Every structure is written in C-alpha cells, then in structure tokens.
A and B are shown apart, each in its own frame.
Chain A
Amino acid sequence: MARSETGGLVSAVAVFVFFAITAGGKGFLSQTGTSDWINTSSQLGIVALPVGLLMIAGEFDLSVGAVVGATSIIVAMCHGYYSLSPWVGITIAIVVGAGIGLLNGVITVSTRLPSFVVTLAMMLMVDGASIGVANALTGASSISAIPTGSSRVIFASSWDSFDVSIIWWAALAVLGTYLLEKTQFGNWVSATGGSARAARLAGVPTSRVKIVLFVASSLGAVLVGIIETLSFSNGNVTLGADYVFTAIAAAVIGGVLLSGGYGSMLGTVFGSFTYGIASMGVFFLGWDADLTDLFVGLFLLLAVLANNLLRRMAVGRDAGVPS
C-alpha cells in the first residue's frame, strides 16, 4: 500500500533534481548551498512537525507565525534591551507560548468554533500585542540581541555552516514519529482527527488531546523563535510571518490530510525539505524570492490531489470520512 509520506518524498526529490540541474553550477550543490537548504528546512520543519500533528487531530494553528514573532521580541527585549540573561527571555517566551497554545485549545474545544478562525484571531491579537509592547517599552519593533554562553551553544551554534536547529529538528521528528505511531496518545490523535465523535464514543478524551497539541504547536514556534533570534542576533516581530501557511503547506505536501485523521511526521519532514530546497534554489538562481511560493504552491496543489487519490486507494471508493 502507498504510504502517506510517499508524496512528500517525491516532491522533495523533484524540486531537488530541478534545482540541482538549473542552479547546481551557481552554488546550490556546494557545501554552503547544501547547508542553506537544510538549515532553512529545519527551521520550518520544527514549526511544521507539531502543526502536522495538530492537523492529524483535525485542527489548524495559524498563530504559529505570530508566536515566533512574539518569542523573538521577548527574547531580544530581555537580553538585548534590558541586558538580562538570555534564559530569562527564553523562559518568559516558553510560558507565553504555552499560554497562547492553551488559550487556542481551550477556546477551540469549548466554543466548537473552527480552529482556523480562533487561531487567525489569536494571530492578529498576538501580532498586535507584540508590536504594541515592543514599541511602548523600547520604542522599536526590531531589537538586536547577541547570544552568549549556554544559550548560544544550545540554540545558535553551527558546524561548518550546518546549524544546531538541524539536530533539534531531527530529535523532534523522531519524538513525533514515536508519539504518533507507537503510543496510545498517537492512536488518540489519529482517531480524534478521523472522527472526534467516534473517538469520544470509544472513550478518547478528544478535548484534552487537542489542547495538548495546540500547546505543542505553540511551543514548536517558540523554539524556532529562540533559534532564529539568537542565530541572527536580532529580534523582530515579523520574523515568523512566513510560517503561517508554509507550515501547513509542508504538512500537506508531506501527506497530512486537510480533513485530519491521517498523515505522518516523516512526510512532514519531506514537505519541509520541499520548501527549503525551493526557497534556496530560487535564491541561488538569482530569481526573485517570491518565486519560491510559485513552487511551493504548485507542489501544494499536486499534494492535495495526490493525497485525495491515495486516501481513496487506501480506504476504497465508498468509505466516507465521518466528521
């Protein structure tokens, strides 16, 4: 049977071959080029993994980009502006991020509004609050922060231009795969997204499952916010804006169903690679960066079509997916 990540693998290989041919002579295949697309993939990948899990459980999180920005400004403000230990800002960012995820989850399960709307509202509120607070306290929405000590090693070190974010990403992918495929919680995640009603009838605490995953998705965004701020030595409210849809795109390209209930972490990894390869390939070709979206959009469209086809192969013609 075709596995859910096959489409993601095919996408990643296809964009890689395309840019290896067209941009190979312009540095895409060099060590810098290679580390560039892997680093880019890893940053998106850290956001996309928990977003993918949440989507498998049938919910969306559009607030991840805003959480990356909020984290960035918190970390930079505490460290760069108030000269506190980086760990103070990191701790505050984790607490704030977890709180935002908790709110997303509790509001979604208690109001039964679509999480798409709840997290869109959250995105706007968090964006607004971040800019407001940063401007009020520091007079700027972009603050420099040069990492020091242990926080630098953990979040901002690199080897031969390969960033430590790759290790974080790999570790989270292994953890996510283990959770989804090998634990009771993973069974509950798939069931919750497949049919929340059927899952509840079987005794699965679907609300708790969703809330936990909303918190996880926020914390993924916090981690990337910390990593990017300390690696660029700069905090910026708009840092995560790209992740709003690219994280969902990465999950879908990797075989996660938009309707929930099915998907894999390995697929989401391939989806993130697709994005990282396309964005760096476009860069090395010297094209306008906006052309990246052309590729990602194309693969997203193909992925949705392929996912529907795979699902139909997997479950047969007549098997509807109850909501």
Chain B
Amino acid sequence: MELRSVSKHYAGVTAVDNVSLKLFAGEIMCLLGENGAGKSTLIKVLTGVEPPTAGQVVVGGQPVHFGSARDARRLGISTVYQEVGTLPLMSVGRNFVLGQEPKKGRWLARRLDLVEANRVAVHEMQELGIRRVVDGNQMVGTLSGGERQALAIARAVHFGARVLVLDEPTAALGVRESGLVLQLLMRVRQKNVAVLLITHNAYHAVAVGDRFVVMRRGQVIAEFSKGTETLPAVIRLMAGGDELSELAGLTGEGQWQVS
C-alpha cells in the first residue's frame, strides 16, 4: 500500500505536509521523528481513523477512502496501540479472539469455543517466540508489557493483517522487553506482512528496519535503506541539527555503522 502526497491540516496546524510513503510485504519500514513530527497523524490517515485533507491512500494500486478504522481493517490494515490493545482482567484466549470469537454448536446452543480460542492464542504466541505463555486461561494482567504487545501483534497477524502498524510499541518498555518486541517484529516480517514501525528511538529502528523515513514538522526530511546511514546521522536528522548528537558526544562515525 502507499500514501500519495498526503496532507493533514488541523485548525491552524499542518500536522502532515505532502508526504508520500510506500510499504512492501515482508519489510519493516520505520517512521522516525521527534515528538510532534506528525507520525501519529500520518498513521491515523493510513489506518482510516482520520481522512486526509489532501492526497490519496492507495491499496493494491487502487485509491481507497476509509470511512473508519474498520474499513481499513477489512483490507488487512491493522494497528496495534501501545496502551489500549488488551484487557488485563480477561484470559489470554478470550483476549486473543475478542471480536472474532470461534463458535461451536447450533442454534440456542451456539457458544464460544474456548478450547479453540486458547489453543490458537497459545499457538500463535509460541510461533512468534513467546515461550513463557503456555496456558490460554492465564490472565492477561499477569503478562509482562512486552508479552501483552506480543498478544496484540499475534492477534492482528492471525486475523489476516497484511499491513501491521505499530505506534511507539517500545515506548513504555524496558530494554529486555523492547528486545522481545523487536525480535517478534522480525518474525512477523518473515510471514510476509508489511510492518510500519513508528518510533522516536533510533536504536530500536536501526536494529530491525529495512527502510527508514524521517519526519520533522510534518514533512519527510530523509528516506534511506538499511546500511546507508549511520546511527548518529539518523539521530542528527531526527533532531534536525547537531545539538543532540553533540550533547551525547556521538561525533565519531564508523563504530555506529548500521549493518
């Protein structure tokens, strides 16, 4: 799918200004930028939450108009939100199938197939490398933050996501948990899903990304592929100047070469 010259204005504010973007199956595209750069607004347009002020959203070569996030999801575009994906007081299995519950029986006896729900949930999470979750009856609230992200991602992939959008999935996570989520994204990539990872953490981005887009003040200021830019350069681009990298003392290049 792609965005063609998309802009989004809010009363007085240009949140996204003439941005074009292409996503490919089996690739992780990283959307980078500081807070307020317009990343969240761009994905709202991409996922049908908000219509663009100008420009087109194109899926499979056809321009589309999403009336809602549900329209986008029907075309296989799923979003995983950082805080609001899962329900802590429900089981892993029940969370996993929510909204798409498997059923058994007929007529009045038509009911939830909880055995199947638990089986699918555990199987899909194991498949994405979450080994610690073995019981679908486990409460989601007892999972770690990374495992909860994994549940949300596994669910989206299982229910047919072709494009998976993640807005700051690692923002609230510690180092190990972030690693878990990033590893999982690489597994999702292997399933031939197009992944759009939004982050302001350049380290996380270069660890998994295939292609990178850097936004600032609503505009794309740089686009590059894996291995063509150094990490300090990426950080400099995001900050829009040399101040941050000087502060961090990241002036030497070479040892930060992205591979």
**Given A191-B90, A315-B89, A321-B89, CB of A201 within 8 Å of CB of B69:** yes
Give the Cβ gap from B172 to chain A, nearest Cβ, in Å: 11
A112 close to chain B: CB less than 8 A: no
Cross-chain contact A314 with B139 (CB below 8 angstroms): yes
A125 close to chain B: CB less than 8 A: no
CA distance A201 to B70 in the complex (A): 8
A: residues with CB less than 8 A from B are 1, 178, 182-184, 186-188, 190-191, 194-195, 197-199, 201-204, 257, 261-262, 311, 314-316, 319-322
**Given A311-B89, A315-B89, CB of A190 within 8 Å of CB of B112:** no
Cross-chain contact B99 with A203 (CB below 8 angstroms): yes
Cross-chain contact A194 with B87 (CB below 8 angstroms): yes
Contact with A along B80-121 (1 / 0, CB 8 A): 010111111110001001111101000000111010000000
Cross-chain contact A199 with B98 (CB below 8 angstroms): yes
Cross-chain contact A190 with B142 (CB below 8 angstroms): no
Cross-chain contact B89 with A194 (CB below 8 angstroms): yes
Q: What residues of chain A lie closer than 8 Å to B83, measured between beta carbons?
A: 322
**Given A197-B84, A322-B83, CB of A184 within 8 Å of CB of B101:** yes
Cross-chain contact A191 with B141 (CB below 8 angstroms): no
CA distance A58 to B90 in the complex (A): 14
Cross-chain contact B98 with A321 (CB below 8 angstroms): no
Contact with A along B139-182 (1 / 0, CB 8 A): 11110000000000000000000000000000000000000000
**Given A182-B111, A184-B103, A184-B112, CB of A191 within 8 Å of CB of B87:** yes
Cross-chain contact A187 with B112 (CB below 8 angstroms): yes
Cross-chain contact B142 with A198 (CB below 8 angstroms): no
Can you report 13 A-B residue pairs in the complex whose CB atoms are below 8 A from each other?
A182-B112, A183-B110, A183-B112, A184-B111, A187-B97, A191-B87, A191-B90, A194-B89, A198-B84, A198-B86, A201-B84, A203-B100, A321-B88
Q: What residues of chain B lie closer than 8 Å to A315, measured between beta carbons?
A: 88-89, 139-142
B: residues with CB less than 8 A from A are 69-70, 73, 79, 81, 83-90, 94, 97-101, 103, 110-112, 114, 139-142
Cross-chain contact B84 with A322 (CB below 8 angstroms): yes
Partner of B84, one of A188, A195, A311, A314: A195
Q: Which of B73, B83, B103, B111 has the most CB of A within 10 A?
A: B111
Q: Which of A1, A186, A198 has the most CB of B within 10 A?
A: A198
CA distance A321 to B70 in the complex (A): 24
Q: What residues of chain A lie closer than 8 Å to B114, measured between beta carbons?
A: 182
* Residue of chain B at shortest CB distance from A196: B84
Cross-chain contact B84 with A319 (CB below 8 angstroms): no
Cross-chain contact B141 with A190 (CB below 8 angstroms): no
Q: What residues of chain A lie closer than 8 Å to B81, measured between beta carbons?
A: 201
CA distance A1 to B103 in the complex (A): 26
Q: What residues of chain B lie closer than 8 Å to A202, measured between beta carbons?
A: 98-100
Partner of B98, one of A1, A204, A257, A322: A204
Q: What residues of chain B lie closer than 8 Å to A261, measured between beta carbons?
A: 87, 89-90
Cross-chain contact A314 with B85 (CB below 8 angstroms): no
CA distance A183 to B110 in the complex (A): 7
* Residue of chain A at shortest CB distance from B155: A202
Give the Cβ gap from A213 to chain B, nearest Cβ, in Å: 17
Give the Cβ gap from A136 to chain B, nearest Cβ, in Å: 44
Q: What residues of chain A lie closer than 8 Å to B141, measured between beta carbons?
A: 314-316, 319
* Residue of chain B at shortest CB distance from A263: B89
Give the Cβ gap from A159 to chain B, nearest Cβ, in Å: 29
Give the Cβ gap from B173 to chain A, nearest Cβ, in Å: 12
* Residue of chain A at shortest CB distance from B97: A187
Q: What residues of chain A lie closer than 8 Å to B112, measured between beta carbons?
A: 182-184, 186-187
CA distance A202 to B156 in the complex (A): 10
* Residue of chain B at shortest CB distance from A186: B112
Partner of B87, one of A178, A182, A195: A195
Q: What residues of chain B lie closer than 8 Å to A188, measured between beta carbons?
A: 98
Give the Cβ gap from B108 to chain A, nearest Cβ, in Å: 10
CA distance A201 to B83 in the complex (A): 12
Cross-chain contact A190 with B87 (CB below 8 angstroms): yes
CA distance A204 to B70 in the complex (A): 11
Q: What residues of chain B lie closer than 8 Å to A314, measured between beta carbons?
A: 89, 139, 141-142
Q: What residues of chain A lie closer than 8 Å to B85, measured between beta carbons?
A: 198, 201
CA distance A200 to B116 in the complex (A): 23
Q: What residues of chain A lie closer than 8 Å to B86, measured between beta carbons?
A: 198
Cross-chain contact B111 with A319 (CB below 8 angstroms): no
Partner of A204, one of B69, B73, B88, B99: B99
Please give 20 more A-B residue pairs, beta carbons under 8 A apart, in addition to A315-B88, A321-B88. A182-B112, A187-B98, A187-B101, A188-B98, A190-B87, A190-B89, A194-B89, A194-B90, A198-B86, A199-B87, A199-B99, A201-B85, A202-B98, A203-B99, A203-B100, A261-B87, A314-B89, A315-B139, A315-B142, A320-B88
Cross-chain contact B89 with A198 (CB below 8 angstroms): no
